[in-house]
Amino acid sequence: LSSRWFSCCRSLKVDDATQRSWWRLIRQKYSGVGRYYHNTHHLRDMFVLLQEFAISADRQDLLYLAIFFHDVVY
């Protein structure tokens, strides 16, 4: 997940400090106590589905951001 996050951020020209800060928050939120479904395993599953259905888009990076942030607040 982290490599996908940082790759996405680099493609969007997000500075390194912001990338790391947001990654810490995302990892913390999806790893929180009480996360029974919307956790890091769920994120991985979402990326597998994205590849499985060969969804292509002009802005794949925006799909990645949508996956990372869709359940960050639980």
The answer to the question of residue 58 being in a domain is yes
Question: Given this model, what pLDDT does residue 57 score?
Answer: 74
The answer to the question of residue 21 being in a domain is yes
Structurally, the chain folds into a number of domains equal to 1
Q: Give the integer Cα–Cα distance in Å for 43 and 8.
A: 15
Q: Give the integer Cα–Cα distance in Å for 20 and 41.
A: 20
Supply the range of the domain harboring residue 42: 2-69
The answer to the question of residue 74 being in a domain is no
Amino acid occupying residue 55:
I
Question: Given this model, what pLDDT does residue 67 score?
Answer: 96
Residue in the structure block whose two tokens are 């890091």: 40
The answer to the question of residue 53 being in a domain is yes
The answer to the question of residue 34 being in a domain is yes
- The CA-atom distances, in angstroms, between 2 and each of 32, 49, 53, 58 are 17, 18, 22, 22
The answer to the question of residue 57 being in a domain is yes
The answer to the question of residue 7 being in a domain is yes
- pLDDT by residue for the chain (74 residues), tens only, comes to 999 999 999 999 999 999 999 999 999 999 999 999 999 999 999 999 988 887 777 888 999 999 999 999 97
